[in-house]
Chain A
């Protein structure tokens, strides 16, 4: 025992016990230096009244005897002999007998913090520094650790010393069981879900679904670890996540082959569409696919051999172009209900174009010339298209900025087309089959981009806005096709601009006075490829 601490013997404590309310589950005050729940002002550093390891000298350490801890119903009514654990309860009961009763009021002065130690000498909690903050806690601890396990579960063999533990267990024993396909059982849903996400059983199930569905061939192939694989995998990753309804490995239905079949499967889900549509109405139209699922499904009747969902998608995108019929945009989850390769390229390029729209020179919009000169492109070429918001990342690595940005190991799962494969060339080919020239937009584009970024991050909201605008860009772009590849390459093989600009742009304080941090930044820059490579 540590001397110098006030230690009450149990006679005194009886009184204290009766005054205490049940504290289990409520905020319990620890005797360590970190008790703070009553602090009124969180800002100033808490006054450390004691060093770690030394119990709060102001806390009253109470050592109850085993008998006291295990005692129940120590207060008995003299009339009917009913037992109560607390004096307060007995007093209230006495009222019923019309006996004189008296409730002890909580004293108005500050109540001293009380902590309890376990009477068992070998126990960890025997020491004041490990005392427990509430009475119920120490009672339960003593029972659990040093007491006899009197309560036994009916269904399983578990035994408990504390009745509430036993009750809590009985409630859940055998009631909820989550079973994973691999055979493991869980009583907790969160454990089950976490397990399932990484379980091979899920992977196998999707593999089975893939095998059953030829369209899904490319979708669910697990990407190799290497980042240098083709962009197909990039797309496959995005796609895989974007075709949940179509490609879901439905337990009930794994034989998804024909478009109709899928359509059938999907119909119940279509009622969700309107809701999701509303939800997603604030998504830029270029991002949302157009065309109801039925349309997209119709296009699924494709020769299956090498038809990836991409080709499906591309065809659908294409059809989107033609009619001015309004179709509800499909949420990004269904994004690829597009038609031609050009369309998806266009979607991509439009995005770039829109970004460019915020820049001073719209000439680069020649990117979308592809659309004007659209021709049937064999599905294979669609391999080069990445979609959506990571487009810039993927493309950037192909050429130009390849050296600096090539170092970037990250990126969309499945790997980027890194320096080894030439997707931008494919894009180039598709976009402007007739062109073969070298980038001619170094200067203007880069300046434009720089201009945009340097304008303190003022992004034009309109960049994401009108599809009509995109159309305009498309038309304009026809003439500027010479800049296409220049655009694609240069946009992503950006000429780097000084780090400082980025910092200013985003309001980040460069903290030049910090050599270590600055060094970190500068020394690290060349190592991991940046989207915007440094000079």
Chain B
């Protein structure tokens, strides 16, 4: 809970003209005795100097200080920094500014959850209203063109498809469990590849979970019934026999009911090759840090995380192949400042990239950035089970997979070529490289998304 100091400055102490902040004495004394450096106290004396703050690292520092202020219930300082940030990072500025603006809103949301500050609550309410069009619901066609704007998703699709087709070579029945956030957008190209097999297409069984509690962007404006029937129809048009199965199951419980279903399915149908295709979804399964928060009782006994259990359950299904694609970032720090740094130094990438493919003011751009805002707000402002964006870097996922009994199998040269030719059709900053056995999507050299392939060891 944030508490005002007795003489806490109300709104009036923050002047919009930027010429210094009139704090009354107590507050100013309080604010000057900071335990961490406050380098901009001098800078704030003139509006010109605000310009000097307009760099990414300064914005990051400000955000960090603001987060610290919120965590330590320092409403005064928090408000001041928020005001500064608001001035130097308009939501329609350059990519850094828009990035910072999104973090700003997330911090406000966080403060309003934890504090009793009326101003912040009012601001937060306004911000929420703006973001109410957050989760735009896409039609299938719109979603198809949306996810193809950047290789962010298509990279994982291409790599996974290549690995899957190779793994099921010659096999007649293929059971694909599609765990992705993008509502089977990968499936048509996979059907197409399998339809063109020299030995003829397999029978495809496609199982997907329909979420019961988790709801993340992008949202689909179509029932899965309809989606599945279109997929089956498409398969038919390519001479591929396909069956579509939906199982209500949610990442929040590590897809418990889906696993159960798959176990029984396995008993009943032999000879099918099980492929588990994970595209950016596994990081929604709660992991150890959630457990630590949720059940503080069992401090001594190690709480097995749902992620570990899930991967072990996958292993018990004896899959032919597991493809694991996710964002190469670490959002699992328990402290908000750590997460903020990680997120700031990762999510600048989509903001930077969007300039290359979507003009300002375009609707798709709004949806795209709204999705990013949602992510940032989730990482910064949410805690416990509501915070679902718990990305882990590639190395840690690798450890998890090996611990669960998988070995990495890598991608062929052909797969890498496919990926590269796909990237060639996107903006020039996208690249791909091999890292250990995995493929890594890069933007201007920075790691973005990793793709890995696993088989039972």
Known: A27-B434, A28-B431, A333-B203. A36 touches B395 (CB 8 A): yes
Taking a contact as CB atoms closer than 8 A, the residue among A276, A408, A411, A532 that contacts B200 in the complex is A276
Q: Is B60 an interface residue (CB 8 A)?
A: yes
Inter-subunit contact A392/B144 (CB<8 Å): no
Q: Is A79 an interface residue (CB 8 A)?
A: no
| Chain B, interface residues (CB within 8 Å), range | 35 or more
Residues on B with C-beta less than 8 A from A389 are 205, 265, 268-269
Taking a contact as CB atoms closer than 8 A, the residue among A127, A282, A517, A524 that contacts B56 in the complex is A127
Query: Per-position contact with A for B364-408: 1 when CB-CB < 8 Å, else 0?
Result: 000000000000000000000000000001011011001000000
Query: Per-position contact with B for A332-346: 1 when CB-CB < 8 Å, else 0?
Result: 110000000000000
Q: Is A241 an interface residue (CB 8 A)?
A: yes
Residues on A with C-beta less than 8 A from B131 are none
Inter-subunit contact B428/A508 (CB<8 Å): no
Give bound CA distance, A206 to B48, whole Å: 65
Q: Is B413 an interface residue (CB 8 A)?
A: no
Taking a contact as CB atoms closer than 8 A, the residue among A187, A240, A453 that contacts B236 in the complex is A240
Closest to B303 in A: A514
Which of chain A's residues 256-304 have a Cβ closer than 8 Å to chain B?
272, 275-276, 279-280, 282-284
Known: A198-B230, A531-B260. A457 touches B399 (CB 8 A): no
Give bound CA distance, A172 to B233, whole Å: 31
Closest to A499 in B: B260
Q: Is B16 an interface residue (CB 8 A)?
A: no
| Chain A, interface residues (CB within 8 Å), range | 35 or more
Query: Per-position contact with B for A458-474: 1 when CB-CB < 8 Å, else 0?
Result: 01010010000000000
Query: Per-position contact with B for A494-523: 1 when CB-CB < 8 Å, else 0?
Result: 000000001001111101011111001100
Q: Is A421 an interface residue (CB 8 A)?
A: no
Residues on A with C-beta less than 8 A from B118 are none
Residues on B with C-beta less than 8 A from A461 are 270
Query: Per-position contact with B for A105-131: 1 when CB-CB < 8 Å, else 0?
Result: 000000000000000000011110110
Inter-subunit contact A137/B444 (CB<8 Å): yes
Give bound CA distance, A532 to B200, whole Å: 35
Give bound CA distance, A30 to B298, whole Å: 40
Q: Is B342 an interface residue (CB 8 A)?
A: yes
Inter-subunit contact B144/A195 (CB<8 Å): yes
In the assembled complex, how far is the CB of residue A386 from the closest CB belonging to chain B, in whole angstroms? Answer: 11
Residues on B with C-beta less than 8 A from A355 are 268
Residues on A with C-beta less than 8 A from B191 are 197
Q: Is A26 an interface residue (CB 8 A)?
A: yes
Inter-subunit contact B395/A46 (CB<8 Å): yes
Q: Is B225 an interface residue (CB 8 A)?
A: yes
Inter-subunit contact B232/A198 (CB<8 Å): no
Q: Is B47 an interface residue (CB 8 A)?
A: no
Query: Per-position contact with A for B310-347: 1 when CB-CB < 8 Å, else 0?
Result: 00110010000000000010100000000001101110
Task: Report which A residues bind B (CB closer than 8 A).
Answer: 2, 25-30, 32, 34-37, 39, 42-43, 45-46, 51-53, 124-127, 129-130, 132-134, 137, 140-141, 144, 162, 165, 168, 172, 187-188, 190-191, 193-200, 202-203, 205-206, 220, 222-225, 227, 237-238, 240-245, 247-249, 272, 275-276, 279-280, 282-284, 331-333, 355, 388-390, 392, 408-415, 453, 457, 459, 461, 464, 502, 505-509, 511, 513-517, 520-521, 524, 528, 530-532
Task: Report which B residues bind A (CB closer than 8 A).
Answer: 55-57, 60, 94-96, 140-141, 144-145, 147-148, 154, 157-158, 170, 172-173, 185, 187-189, 191-192, 199-201, 203, 205, 210, 212, 223, 225-249, 253-254, 256-257, 260-261, 263-265, 267-271, 291, 294-295, 297-298, 301, 303-304, 306, 309, 312-313, 316, 328, 330, 341-342, 344-346, 348, 352, 393, 395-396, 398-399, 402, 422, 424-425, 428-429, 431, 433-436, 440, 442, 444-447
